[in-house]
Structure 1
Amino acid sequence: MRLSPWSLNGARFIGYILNSFLCSCIFFLTLHIIDYTPIAINSLRLNYRRRLECTCYRHRLPRLDLNLISNLPENQSFLCSDYATRRGPHQRIISISLYGPKENKRFQYNQSLSFLNELINDVNTIYPDNFILRIHHDDTISLSDVICPIECRNHNVDFCSMNSKLFIPPKIWRFIPAGDPLVDAMLSRDLDSPLTRRERAAVDAWLASNKSFHAMRDHPQHAVPMLGGMWGFRPSLNPTMSRLIHNKIHNRSSVQRFGGSGDQSFLSREVWPQALSSIMVHDSFLCTRSYGKNSQPFPTQRPSANETNCFIGCVRSCCGDGKMPFGQCPKECRPKDHPEWIYC
């Protein structure tokens, strides 16, 4: 039996109406879902693997359960980048600041990039076990020439633009992961200082403990409670303290008092008093000072001086002449079972 032309046209018309209705339902349902999706999830770009300014793609990350980040406090979400957020919880971060001549009179573009490449090599050698280097930067650093190629080559490097946080002094940018709920442990470090096995042994001792904070002093002139490039914190052990540090860093009226080299003053005033109840300190020279009490020796003996192994926090090329810049460490600061470690 053949259908009449009118019947065929009518069927097509009804099909068109049904399809239009179905598409409208899907459209409004999508709007409804988006409208009630938490801000943290809405802000994630669909194509997180490529920055808008880049032509290359980053490594694909494991699928993230968005429920894990849906309940993040709005002011503590997206503290770095889409890609960093997509990594999800339990991140272990090595954090540095990288900024230009306005705040850093000694800034030299090529030298800073050289330091950065050496630091990335150090991370791959000393911290190869899922540590991520976060670089907090201003617009001095070129996206297309520097950020894109470095991120696409290195799955363990995230650049974090500070253009929306320029009220925070640049040396304090590197402290921001201390207030990130997605971070298990953060290590604040200097761009121009090498990472060493001696440092890693001290960090491992801290991570094996139940202490929230870590600090190191490895030179007679490290005469402050906490050095900006030699401390660490475990947000996952103390979320309340993590929120407190986050709020202190983002308090516009107070954080600006710590500009220039005020990062260590910020730590001494705002962090150190809170850290005393749960901190491990490794100290090779100043263990008898008031802030050195309850510190402990480094777990490894100081190696022979060279371009890397000089003291933790040294500026490259460190002891390139093969000579230590100080004498023997005090007997009180040596391990009790190794009093012969005159260079401890």
Structure 2
Amino acid sequence: MHREAIHYQDRYAVKVIPRSLFNLFESAEEQSDQPQQILRKVISFSLWGQNPRYTHGAVENARLALQIYPAWQCRFYIDSTVPFDIIQQLNSLENVEIIEMPKPDLPWQGSFWRFYVLGDPDVDIAICRDADSRLGWREKAAVDQWLESGLPFHIIRDHPLHQDPILAGLFGYQGTIANIEWLIECYLFNHEDCQYLIDQKFLGEVIYPFARYQALTHDEFYGGEPFPSPRQGIDYAGQPFPIYESRGYDELLHQYLSIQRTETVT
């Protein structure tokens, strides 16, 4: 089921995305003729509204990043709906950069903001994450392995229900995607019924055709690369917080892991 879904996304995306867009992608390797310098690495988040699940999650992730991603900067794309005290807490952290955005015209349009980092020529390596998940050492080990691989794209799927080609909060890119904002605007123009997970559909239909053959994909359920760091219990990259809201996901993961262990023994 999972492989079939990704294969369908593949075929659909290749049909609807013009080949001329391939020249919008410039990998970090293609930028190697530039003077040697310290690479700027960014963890990018979108943040809007007052839901503590996201606002407190943003602050917690920024604090975690100081330990887990010490050489990285957390960039938050936010609008005026974010409470002032949350902005103050973020600004008090040395690893945080805030980009102010206008209030979106469409529901869930703000979820695309974090992708804007991909078009920033001053950023060498970027990963996009969800504010309501938590950064962790398992994903960090996977990110380090990706950076060592030299491949432009990084895709993480760490749960049986991670069935989209690219998850909006678990991917990365080395290089620059020129005109990423224009690509998003064009996509939204044709998808005015902007709904939850529209950002993930965009990645599957627009970005995945370029990423599919030049990505390191960590996915132990459906044929990807194994994670370099072992799983602790039923934790997984991209796990939503608070934990009690993900109990159904956790139980399903436990079932899959039990089946895998049984198959390994037999």
Q: TM-score range by the shorter chain?
A: 0.7 to 0.9
Residues 126/90 of structure 1: CA separation in 2 closer, same or farther (3 Å cut): same
- Select the residue among 82, 107, 113 that pairs with 2:55: 113
Which residue in 2 is equivalent to 1:139?
Answer: 80
Question: Is the CA contact (8 Å cut-off) linking 2:153 and 2:172 kept in structure 1?
Answer: yes
- Of 72, 93, 109 in structure 2, the residue corresponding to residue 154 of structure 1 is 93
Secondary structure of the equivalent of 1:175? helix
Change (3 A) 1:170 1:256: farther
Question: Which residue, 202, 207, 216 being the options, matches 2:147?
Answer: 207
State yes or no: 1:300 paired with 2:233: no
Question: Percent identical across equivalent pairs?
Answer: 30
- List gaps (5 residues or longer) in structure 2: 1-36
Please list the CA deviations of residues 194-253 of structure 1 after superposition, one character each: whole Å capped at 9, or x if unmatched: 111100000000011111100111111111111110111112xxx4xx115343124363
Structure (1 or 2) with the greater strand fraction: 2
Residue aligning to 1:278: 214
- 1:248 equivalent in structure 2: 183
Is 1:185–2:125 an aligned residue pair? Answer: yes
Judge conservation of contact 2:55–2:131 (CA < 8 Å) in 1. no
Q: Paired residue for 2:33?
A: none
| 1:1-344 matched pairs, under 5 angstroms | 90-100=39-49, 108=51, 110-129=52-71, 131-143=72-84, 145-151=85-91, 153-163=92-102, 166=105, 169-235=109-175, 239=176, 242-251=177-186, 253-254=189-190, 256=192, 258-287=194-223, 295-305=224-234, 310-318=235-243, 324-325=250-251, 326=253, 327-329=255-257
Paired residue secondary structure (1:302)? coil
Residues 291-329 of structure 1 deviation map (CA, whole Å, 9 limit, x = unaligned): xxxx21111221124xxxx111111233798x9522244
Separation of aligned partners in 1, 2:165 and 2:194: 16
**Structure 1 residues 254 and 191, CA gap change in structure 2 (3 angstroms):** same
Residues 33-59 of structure 1: CA deviation (Å, up to 9, x unaligned):
xxxxxxxxxxxxxxxxxxxxxxxxxxx
SS at match of 1:128: coil
Contact 1:258 1:265 in 2 (8 A): no
- Distance in 2 separating the partners of 1:214 and 1:112: 24
1:50-69 deviation digits (Å, cap 9, x = unpaired): xxxxxxxxxxxxxxxxxxxx
Cα separation, 2, equivalents of 1:137 and 1:231: 20
Go from structure 1 to structure 2 and tell me whether the alpha carbon gap of 1:303 and 1:260 turns closer, same or farther (over 3 Å shift): closer
Q: Distance in 2 between matches of 1:140 and 1:169?
A: 14
Q: Secondary structure at the match of 1:233?
A: strand
Tell me, in whole angstroms, the C-alpha distance in 2 between the residues paired with 1:190 and 1:91.
20
Change (3 A) 1:181 1:265: same
CA shift digits 1:273-306 (9 cap, x unpaired): 011231110002122xxxxxxx21111221124x
**CA drift at 1:160:** 1.1
SS of the equivalent of 1:226 reads coil
Residues 261 and 328 of structure 1: CA distance in aligned 2, closer, same or farther (over 3 Å): closer
CA gap 1:271/1:95 in 2 versus in 1, 3 angstroms: same
Q: C-alpha distance in 1, partners of 2:203/2:148?
A: 24
Alpha carbons of 1:246 and 1:193: their partners in 2 closer, same or farther (altered >3 Å)? same
- 1:270 Cα deviation (Å)? 0.4
The TM-score with structure 1 as length reference comes to 0.58
**Distance change in 2, residues 1:301/1:213 (3 Å):** same
Relative contact order higher in (CA < 8 Å, ≥ 6 apart): 2
SS at match of 1:313: coil
Deviations 1:104-123 (A, max 9, x none): xxx52x44332222112211
Q: How many residues of Structure 1 are paired with residues of Structure 2 in the alignment?
A: 222
Contact 2:133 2:240 in 1 (8 A): yes
1:157 maps to amino acid = V
SS in 2 for 1:124: helix
> How far apart, CA to CA, are the structure 2 residues paired with 1:255 and 1:136?
22
Letter matched to residue 47 of structure 2: L
Could you say which structure has the larger radius of gyration?
Answer: 1
Q: Letter of the 1:96 partner, please give it.
A: F
Contact 1:89 1:182 in 2 (8 A): no
Matches of 1:233 and 1:186, distance apart in 2: 6
- Secondary structure (helix, strand or coil) at the match of 2:97 reads strand
**3-state SS in 1 of match to 2:45:** strand
